[in-house]
Amino acid sequence: MNHKRVLRLAVTVAATGALAAGMTMTLTSTASAGTTLKASAAEKGRYFGAAVAGQKLSDNTYVTILNREFNSVVAENDMKWDATEPQQGRFVYTGGDRLVSHAQANGQSVRGHALLWYQQQPGWAQNMSGSALRSAMINHVTQVATHFRGKIHSWDVVNEAFADGNSGARRDSNLQRTGNDWIEAAFYAARAADPGAKLCYNDYNTDGINAKSTGIYNMVRDFRSRGVPIDCVGFQSHLGTSLASDYQANLQRFADLGVDVQITELDVMSGGNQANIFAGVTRACMNVSRCTGITTWGVRDCDSWRGSDNALLFECSGNKKAAYTSVLNALNAGPGITPSPTTPGPTTPGPTTPPPTTPPPTTPPPGPDGCTASVSLNSWTGGFVASVKVTAGSAGTNGWNVSVTLPGGASVTNTWSATASGSTGTVRFTNVNYNGRLGAGQVTEFGFQGTGSAAGVTPTCTAS
Ligand code: G2I
């Protein structure tokens, strides 16, 4: 307890100093004191994830770290094309379903990886071309995204479609040879199959402003301008011994196109700079308000595809490495995602409730300004997907409800990260178990899909 009081005092002093220095700053942008990666990321409105190899889910040391530190998971291999459709039209979801169950039991969200990729295709697809391959690949996207519908936070719809080097062009592959529009066709198919999932393009060697990242940037800009349904870009960030000085600027230029960005497969060569590079990547993500989460590609060094590079945050024994501490500190020091403009962050000293990962012994009263909600709509003729941001007021929340009144003829058909009561007229959405407890100014998101039009809906948030 004393320890917490000291930390709060330190936060107050830091905030006062910054205000005195004339900076625009809210309490959400001061230091916090999470003690796990997931708690510290969540305090800043982000997730912290790991790639999971299905066979490791029976390893106790591995699972203990996974559940203690990570609130997002992605299948390292189990949702790829060769794993999910080994023979054409025969779908196998054993590994993917096992990971989703693990995630749901442990309050973790799931990234889907990857619907289409030139590697790890089943043999039958490798041997296909032309219109037969085009229909097989779109069917694959539709079937897999439909199977996991409502369970995936973000899908890597297309992985690694750009060439390395200076061309900035598409990579040659059997997929590319079906026609340059294969990527947008895949995004449209994924949106139709799972309208609630964020749809991402994911690639490597995009760790800064370079020819390859610029090629991708131009594609994303084109997609946004033509309404192709892309919501996010993943930066794998398999890194060596240095970090490009424009790493953050590169994330920011994509964010400025109106997409979220995520660090999706982070690992870093060991050596003198490892901890600094991990911290630099984390800081860059925290400094970009649309950078919604970081995933490391594995849990411990010995789980990594990079073998002797010792590229991750934990030793095989489970011990935390220096890089772990540097990431945790960077998460704690980073700004939170800025609350929406209608919700100025509190400028007075901190929350009197403990941070969200430490359940308070008694239920604190609802905060003076409860919570606020804002909605962003993705609409088409006859339907819509609504993403709702819930921002806690200065006392945080133990739970929340958001009500929306839909126009006549509109109806909610699907909800994620919240529970809906009712489907027409006034519909009330209540937090699920892992996103009800929010720290002061913290943001969480849920969504719903519907038929009809939701134009003009205004959400009302109530905290408990
Ligand atoms: O290559 C690193 C990553 C680059 N970005 C996309 C990711 O999907 C990719 O992950 C790696 C996995 O970490 C490896 O585990 O993708 C590799 C495939 O290209 C995965 O390796 C494969 C082996 O090639 C297979 O022989 C093996 O059966 O892992 C399989 C399962 O252990």
Q: pLDDT tens across 366-393, in order? A: 445 799 999 987 776 777 778 788 899 9
Residue pair 283/334 in contact (Cβ under 8 Å)? The answer is yes
**Tens-digit pLDDT profile for residues 139-151:** 999 999 999 999 9
Distance CA 281, CA 260 (A): 16
Residue 387, strand partner residues: 376, 447
Percent of the chain at pLDDT > 70 equals 86
pLDDT at 29: 52
The two three-digit tokens of residue 459, written as one number:
């959400």
- The rounded Å distance from CA 286 to ligand 1 centre is 28
Q: Which atom of ligand 1 is nearest to the CA of 305?
A: 13
How much is the average pLDDT of 410-414?
A: 87
CA–CA distance, 355 with 437 (Å, rounded to integer): 9
Alpha carbon nearest to ligand 1 atom 1, residue:
305
CB 349 within 8 A of CB 398: no
Distance 298 CA to ligand 1 centre (A): 11
User: What's residue 434's pLDDT?
Assistant: 65
Q: Which residues does the annotation mark as catalytic? A: 160, 265
pTM comes to 0.72
Residue of the CA atom closest to atom 29 of ligand 1: 77
CA distances from 214 to 137, 173, 228, 245 (A): 26, 20, 18, 16
How far does the chain reach from its first CA to its final CA, in angstroms?
24
Residue nearest to atom 13 of ligand 1 (CA): 305
Q: Which residues are registered as beta bridge partners of 296?
A: 50, 266
Around ligand 1, the residues with Cβ closer than 6 Å are 76-77, 119-120, 159, 204, 236, 265, 305
| pLDDT of amino acid 361 | 39
Q: Nearest residue CA, atom 6 of ligand 1?
A: 159
Q: Report how far ligand 1's centroid is from the alpha carbon of 10 (Å).
A: 45
Report the residue among 73, 76, 119, 171 best suited for mutation to probe ligand 1: largest number of ligand atoms under 8 A from its CB.
76
| Nearest atom of ligand 1 to the alpha carbon of 113 | 8
Query: Given a cut of 80, is residue 123 above it in pLDDT?
Result: yes
Contact 336, 285 (CB under 8 A): no
How far apart are the CA of 77 and the centre of ligand 1, in A? Answer: 6
Least confident of 34-43, 203-212, 264-273, 337-346: 337-346
State which of 18-22, 273-277, 363-367 shows the largest mean pLDDT.
273-277
Residue with tokens 């320890």, as numbered in its chain = 3
Atom of ligand 1 nearest to the CA of 297: 13
What does the pLDDT read at residue 333? 95
Q: Which atom of ligand 1 is nearest to the CA of 304?
A: 13
